[in-house]
Amino acid sequence: MPDLGHILNNRVLLVSLIACSIAQALKLVVDLVKNQKLNVRALVTTGGMPSSHSTLVTALATEVGQQTGWESPDFAIATIFAIIVMYDAAGVRQAAGKQARILNQIIDQLFQEKPEFNEDRLKELLGHTPFQVIVGFMLGVGISFITTFIYG
């Protein structure tokens, strides 16, 4: 079993997780500015600005490129993985959120007609807009390069 110290020395992993944490913290700030109240749940929710999924995978791919070389198979794999995750965040999950919104409207109408009908609401904010994904992408790349500049 790997020693915890070796895992903590994995710069690719650490920078990626730090980038994701920064993106999640920014969601709290964006939500605070938008709604004028502190919503700590924003730290652990999916969806919203910026896309922490995009930030995580682009920081991962950028770090892999910096560590192993931009022409390496490892960078190619990380980049393809990042593209799939970002496409999913802006495409499939965004469509699922729209479907949830429509289903919630149907449930609301059923409540009006049959108050005994009790069903939980579906989560509507699942995916990201393309802009949220692009901001997450830029944040991930930026954090990776900044950490390299600072720590070498």
pTM of the full structure:
0.76
- Give per-residue pLDDT as tens, 68-113: 999 999 999 999 999 999 988 877 666 666 776 777 677 777 666 6
Of 107, 131, 133, 151, the residue nearest 54 (C-alpha): 133
- Give per-residue pLDDT as tens, 123-146: 555 567 888 999 999 999 999 999
What are the residues whose beta carbons fall under 8 Å from the beta carbon of 46, sequence distance 6 or more? 93, 123, 125, 126, 127
* Separation CA 84–CA 71 (nearest Å): 19
Contact 91, 57 (CB under 8 A): no
